[in-house]
Structures are given as structure tokens and as C-alpha cells.
Structure 1
Amino acid sequence: MIKSWMVIGGVAFVVALAANWITPSDRHWFNRLQRPKWLTFEVAIPLIWTVIFICGAWSAYIVWERQPDTNPTWVLMGLYLLLEIVTIAYTPVMFRLRSLHVGTVLGGTGFTICIILAITVLTVSSWAALLLVPYLLWSPIGTYTTWQMIKINPQDA
């Protein structure tokens, strides 16, 4: 029998693969952009997001296990999926459109979805809501960084 954590983890992994939907020219565009001087932790960003996605999947697992296969739980699973899709879309969509504005909007959208999700999940499990806090803390940092990059790279806004 397939366990719920396997399905949740598998879906999260498959969606995350879409982040690799970028071309070398997309990567070149982003790598040539100037960064804020205070951005000294860029090398840690993939690890930070990995931890955030693990926390999100764990949160979804807790919610599923509390009220498995109910309509409200399926709606929450849809919100978790939407949050991951919007978050993963940040890189390939921003790179493909070569638009830091698009990245800023996607970052803000993810943050908004996560707030809604966390408030809703709080009624099911405080632990599941707590596991969304890393996203809520980090997402504004990433969004603010992208917004600051618009000022430094106005030609790529």
C-alpha cells in the first residue's frame, strides 16, 4: 500500500522538477544581473528552499493524516499544490520572460497564498501551520531581493 507521505513527497518532487525548465541563455541572463551588495548568502538559497519545501510537504502530510480523504482536506491539498506551483514557477517564468517584475509578482503571490494556507491549516493543526513559518519568513526576503534587483538592473525589470 502506498503511504500518504510517499504520494505527497512524490507530487512535490515532480512539481519541483519544473524548476529545471530553463535554458542556458535563461541562466546566462540571470547570472549577468547585478545583485544587492548585502546579498552574501546566495549560495545557500537552494538549501534554504529545499528545507522550506520539506517543511511544506510535512505540513501537508500532517493535514492529510488528521482528516484523510475529506473534501476540506482535498481543498487544502489543492492550496499546497498551488503554492508549490507558484513558487517553482518563479525561476523558469522569470528567466524565460527575462523580467524581474514577474519574479517579484510571483514571490508576492506565493507569500499571499501561504498566508491564506497557514491561517486555514491552523484550524486543523498548529504543527502543520508552524511548518509553513519558514516559507512565510523566507519568501518576503526573496521577493524583496528580486525587487531590489529591479532598481540595480532597470533594463531587466
Structure 2
Amino acid sequence: MNPLYVSGGCAAALLVAGGLATPIGSWYNTLRKPSWQPPGWAFGPAWTIILGLAAWSAAIAWTAAPDAAARTSIIILFAVNAACHFLWSPLFFALRRPDWALGEVVFLWASLVALLIGLWPISPFAALLIVPYFLWVSFAAFLNWTIVRLNAPFA
């Protein structure tokens, strides 16, 4: 099976699951947010592009992997990242705990650092495709921190 179809399907599933776990309602709309927060409509296209690049990265790394052990490492790195990616939305939106999401985003960010480090020896290009994801999550973490600072305490 073509690795791009598999990784693309996984990325699409993550997009759908993340969207379903992100109920935007009156609670979110009443939160104080910084003036520099991107408009709500920008998040869907941003995540679609970012996860598309991650899927491409996974397919390239899989194809470039020299052996089964490297392919296993690639699966583990992307699976951990997917779990960390998915957990953030329910914490922030469904449970209404931006403070817990802020704690979790550290793990998401670390999973991206692990991807960058783990993919580089296999395929520098695959690692570079993760950079926009890393930058966006770094920005999103700062946005999350700002929302916590503007609205805490949460209970």
C-alpha cells in the first residue's frame, strides 16, 4: 500500500477527530483573547496544511527508512505525536480547561522536537516538513498561555 495514502488517511482521521472534539460554543466565545489571535476561520486551513505536510513527511520518512527498526521508530514518533495532538482539543474545549491544555501542549511540543530529531537522520526533508507544525504549535502554546493568563482561574 502506498505510504502517502496511509499517512494521508491518518492525517484526515486526526483532522476529523480533532474537529469533533472542538465544540466552539458560548463558553469559548466569552473567553478573553489577545488581539493578535488569528480569526477562527484560519485554524481549519492552517491545521489542514500542517497535517498534510506531516502526512507527506511520514510517507517520505517511511520510504527512506533503511530498515524495519527505522520504520518502527517512525510509526512510534508519529503515533505519539497524534495522541498528543488529539488530546489538546478535548482538554481545552470539551472539558473547558485551557490550563490543563497548556500543560498538555508541552507534550505535543516535545513530540514535535522528537520528530525533528528522529526524522533528520532518515530524511532531512521529512524533518523539514515538520517545521511549520513545530512553529504553529509554538505559537499556539503562547496563545494558550495568554488565554490562561487572561481568564484564570478555571474550575
Q: Do both share a fold (TM > 0.5)?
A: yes
Residue type matched to 1:77 in 2? I
- Mean CA deviation greater in 137-146 or 27-36: 27-36
- Aligned residue pair count: 155
Equivalent residue number for residue 92 of structure 2: 94
Equivalent residue number for residue 126 of structure 2: 128
Offset at residue 122 of structure 1 (A)? 0.4
Gaps of 5+ in 2: none
Equivalent residue number for residue 69 of structure 2: 71
Offset at residue 68 of structure 1 (A)? 7.0
SS at match of 1:156: coil
Please state if 1:146 is matched with 2:144: yes
Equivalent residue number for residue 6 of structure 1: 5
8 Å CA contact retained: 2:18, 2:89? yes
TM-score norm. by structure 1 comes to 0.87
Gaps of 5+ in 1: none
Offset at residue 71 of structure 1 (A)? 2.1
Superposed counterparts of 1:44-59, under 5 Å = 44-59=42-57
8 Å CA contact retained: 2:109, 2:137? yes
Q: 1:21 to 1:46 in 2, by over 3 A?
A: closer
Q: 1:10 to 1:145 in 2, by over 3 A?
A: same
Residue type matched to 2:11 in 1? A
Share of identical aligned residues, percent?
28
User: In structure 2, how many angstroms separate the alpha carbons of the residues matched to 1:5 and 1:12?
Assistant: 10
8 Å CA contact retained: 2:119, 2:127? yes
Please give the per-residue CA displacement for 1:118-156, whole angstroms capped at 9, x wherever unaligned: 111100011001001001111111011011011111133
- Mean CA deviation greater in 127-136 or 6-15: 6-15
Residue type matched to 2:34 in 1? P
Q: 1:48 to 1:40 in 2, by over 3 A?
A: closer
After superposition, the CA RMSD in angstroms is 2.1
User: In structure 2, how many angstroms separate the alpha carbons of the residues matched to 1:63 and 1:38?
Assistant: 35
Q: 1:32 to 1:69 in 2, by over 3 A?
A: farther
Please state if 1:156 is matched with 2:154: yes
Q: 1:46 to 1:80 in 2, by over 3 A?
A: same
Please give the per-residue CA displacement for 1:38-91, whole angstroms capped at 9, x wherever unaligned: 224443122111111011111100011112771221221121122122112211
